[in-house]
Structure 1
Amino acid sequence: MENMDATVLATALPALARDLNQDPVTLKLAITAYVAALGVFIPISGWMADKLGARKVFRAAMIVFMTGSILCAVSGSLVTFVAARFLQGIGGAMMVPVGRVIIARSVDKSELVKAVSYLTMPALLGPVVGPLLGGFITTYFHWRWVFLINIPICFLGLYLAGRYIQNFTEDDPAPLDVKGFVLTSVGAAMIMLGLSLFGNHLVDGATPIAMCAIGAIALAMYYRHSTQIAFPLLDFRLLRIPTLHASVVGGSLFRIGLGAVPFLLPLALQEGLGMSAFQAGTITCASAFGSLFMRLIATKVLRRYGFRTVLMVNAVFAGIALAAYGVFSIHTPYLLIALIVLMGGVFPALQFTCLNSIAYADIDNRDAGRVTSLASVIQQLSLGMGVTIAGIVLQLSSHLQGHATIVEADFWPAFLVIGLFSIASVPVSGKLPRNAGLELSQGR
């Protein structure tokens, strides 16, 4: 549901922007508002699952997400739409991290890579169906309907979660770090929203700078606070574990690159190449088919080459594949575009499987909630940062080339930058021991 919602929104973004009388690039606010909510509430998701029970929190999160979807569908202005997306983000902040906690506590480490692959395969239905469905609805009906498709999926999810998921709890969960929650909330929200406001007409130029400064100060205060208590909300001391450090730090660089694609690619196809939302959707979903193929063989690849080698080599291939999106023009054959986008799904899928699995390679079950909270909040903020960076580069490219509106030639610098971010993760992965994650990769 969450993955499909993101891809549906990306495909519908240009039409939505026109309906709300906004520039399409300005609508990155709708994406970053969602990510800001993730940054605020993911840190307490692990604690809530430990305290209240994983199943209970998981189902409540689905209801919140569905409510936000309904409010998105009835929004009539940019402000109300962004607020509804923030509410959706609160639900998303609990769904995915708590789902990872459930998986980490339910399977042996030798089966974790296989479990993560199984977990992500149903999630890939969202990126397959989302662009097609979103493009079809936006082109032939109205963008508001794209949010209402979450309702039946949510009811099905509530039933399945109630029937199959155990209500995992911790007998003696650590106390909630209230001060840390306040500081991380202010820091994450201010930085994400401040960056997303750069370069648009909604506020004066000093406001985004002030917001980012406040956010940076809050996060600096939190870091100092986290070193002085036993159970901080986000425990950065866990990053001393090499496998977790590679997953979080190296993975964040990679996700900055990949996080821009759902925003940038549909925009390039529609605003740059003049495609309809439905045509753009048929191309965008090609990456999901590439991802699905790679998920099927990811375990065998890891068993053959190991985590360290795969993370380093595959990051280069993924970066090249993403940068290649910048070569698209109105003269590029449709099938060639679809083939390049297909390959742009293959390599990132393998990287995600590696990064999500190796995070738990050297983690005890009791620490699964804390690790998930730390990894998830940094990962999601990285994805949102990718949207923000891509938007800034796109606007800068358009300005330097003297274009009054976004055109085809403005997109290649943005795709080049996001490809370089993915490649930048290689040195971090290179610090891993050669046998890192051996227990995971040799699972049967």
Structure 2
Amino acid sequence: MLDPATRRLLPWLVAIAFFMQTLDSTILNTTLPRMAESLGESPLRMQSVVIAYMLTVALFIPASGWLADRFGTRRVFLSAIGLFSFGSLLCALSPSLPWLVAARVVQGIGGALLLPVGRLAVLRAFPRDELLKVLSFVSIPGLVGPLVGPPLGGWLVEVASWHWVFLINLPVGALGVLAAMRYMPDLRGAAGQRFDVAGFVLFSLGLVLVSLGLQGLGERALSVALSLLMLAAGLAAMSAYWFHAARHERPLFSLALFKIPTFSIGIVGNLFSRLGSGAMPFMTPLFLQLGLGYSPSRAGLTMVPTVIGAMLMKTVTERVIRGFGYRRVLVVNTLLLGLLMASFGLVGPATPHAAVLVLLGVFGLVNSMQFTAMNTLTLGDLDDARASSGNSLLSVVMQLAMSLGVACAGALLAAFGGHAGRGEPIELRTFHLTYVCLGVLSGLAAGIFAQLRRTEGPAGRAAVVDEG
């Protein structure tokens, strides 16, 4: 049993960890042009700073549950906060882009463990009849972080420097360490469970090689031949994992999950739909500053309607899905999402600021509906035995899709913008063509969701994953 103080403050501790993670993932995007200028790099090369973090999180999420079972939630949670904070310090001290990317990897390892282990502690510490209330409370900072992040990042680079985007994590991290030492219970799972090391290596190798191949094409830091070789090798590693999982007794992710139609369609639809929408938080601050000439603080404030739209949509999403069904909602909403992304190709310097705000607000509404419907479809039909594995795979796919989306956006910007190097402006046409391509790419995912039967979808009230 938890003591009263731990019972009261554990949700706050996990909420702070969630806030640290979501703030860091949104505060950075607004600062990328100034960061590129300070480091003497082209803004197009700054995608690696975003991808390094997202990809590292995707790689280490599968190990989070096993590590918590093996070493206890307190030790792993403390290590996660420590790594995240130490990585933030290294980011602030980085003198060049390669050093910054390496520091983001350290930060990403901590970020990968932070929220899953915190949520696991809550799941094990509270009875089931209290979980909905506690998890709803924990998810609130996940909405506040994206609301505060973009304008705060823009303001910091104007009044101070980009280094403070990372330094701001240090006092929050110190507070989190002190609180975790006192209030994080040391909970462990069943002893003796073996971790699928071979599956982890194959799966991770596949993710890294595919991402590096796409990033090489985007940044043009690697030859086209080497980038394509990495892509092919990554696909080969993923294929090898598939055969490994089919024969292993306890694989990293069981292929039995894909026997559930709603899970299969939901997970594949998640991957392809998020390729476009996952690139938007990276693309849009660049577009506003480099394409439309906004200041960092104005660009950050302009992003706020996206988050407000997402918050508003969450109040009606369940009623819309229950009224129209998953198939109809996801097909129509995916097409609408692609159309909205493509419509940014019509925005120029003469477009009224109010119109830009409205467009971003509507995009936030539609994007929120997409995420909630896809995630609920994916997880809703999983039983207790497969819920943990399915949720873990969904979290990996979400991070992977966003990472690949940023890599795709970078590749398209480089392809349409020619050899935009350090100090060279990026033409508005480059952004417009990239938005259209991303919109078409996301819209094509409607064909995946069209494979659902008209009445197919979770029958009961499914748990909704809101972490975007």
Fold-level similarity (TM above 0.5): yes
Q: Give the aligned residue type for 2:95.
A: G
Alignment of 1:94 with 2:113, yes or no, is yes
* Deviation at residue 209 of structure 1 after TM alignment: 2.7
Alignment of 1:431 with 2:455, yes or no, is no
For these two proteins, the number of residue pairs brought into alignment is: 442
Question: Deviation string for 1:139-197 (max 9, x for gaps)?
Answer: 22100001112223334555676777766543256411111122222221122122112
CA contact (8 A) 2:312 2:365 kept: yes
Question: Deviation string for 1:347-402 (max 9, x for gaps)?
Answer: 1112212223333322233433322222222221111111011111111112399x
Cα 1:268/1:206, change in 2 over 3 Å: same
**RMSD value over aligned CA atoms?**
3.0
* Deviation at residue 52 of structure 1 after TM alignment: 3.7
CA contact (8 A) 1:97 1:372 kept: no
Q: Which residue of 2 aligns with 1:294?
A: 313
Q: 2:433 aligns with which of 394, 406, 413?
A: 413
Q: 1:228 aligns with which of 243, 247, 260?
A: 247
Map 1:126-275 → 2, pairs under 5 A = 126-157=145-176, 169-171=188-190, 174-275=193-294
Q: Comparing 134-143 with 210-219, which one deviates more in the overlay?
A: 210-219
Rounded to whole Å, the distance in 2 between the matches of 1:325 and 1:103 is 41
Q: Comparing 316-325 with 224-233, which one deviates more in the overlay?
A: 316-325
* Unmatched tracts of structure 2, length 5 or more: 1-19
Rounded to whole Å, the distance in 1 between the matches of 2:175 and 2:369 is 29
Map 1:348-427 → 2, pairs under 5 A = 348-399=367-418, 405-427=425-447
CA contact (8 A) 2:206 2:234 kept: yes
TM-score with structure 1 length normalisation?
A: 0.90
Q: 1:10 aligns with which of 29, 34, 41?
A: 29
Rounded to whole Å, the distance in 1 between the matches of 2:463 and 2:61 is 31
TM-score with structure 2 length normalisation?
A: 0.85
CA contact (8 A) 2:154 2:297 kept: yes
Map 1:23-172 → 2, pairs under 5 A = 23-54=42-73, 56-98=75-117, 119-157=138-176, 169-171=188-190
Rounded to whole Å, the distance in 2 between the matches of 1:360 and 1:122 is 22
Q: 2:461 aligns with which of 437, 440, 444?
A: 440
Rounded to whole Å, the distance in 1 between the matches of 2:319 and 2:182 is 32
* Deviation at residue 266 of structure 1 after TM alignment: 0.6
Q: Give the aligned residue type for 1:336.
A: A
Q: Give the aligned residue type for 2:461.
A: L
Rounded to whole Å, the distance in 2 between the matches of 1:246 and 1:170 is 31
1:248 counterpart SS class: helix
Question: Deviation string for 1:35-65 (max 9, x for gaps)?
Answer: 2212321222232234444555344323222
Question: Deviation string for 1:89-112 (max 9, x for gaps)?
Answer: 112222344456567778999999
CA contact (8 A) 2:216 2:223 kept: no
* Unmatched tracts of structure 1, length 5 or more: none
1:64 counterpart SS class: helix
* Deviation at residue 242 of structure 1 after TM alignment: 1.9
Q: Comparing 84-93 with 8-17, which one deviates more in the overlay?
A: 84-93
Q: Which residue of 1 aligns with 2:5?
A: none
1:227 counterpart SS class: helix
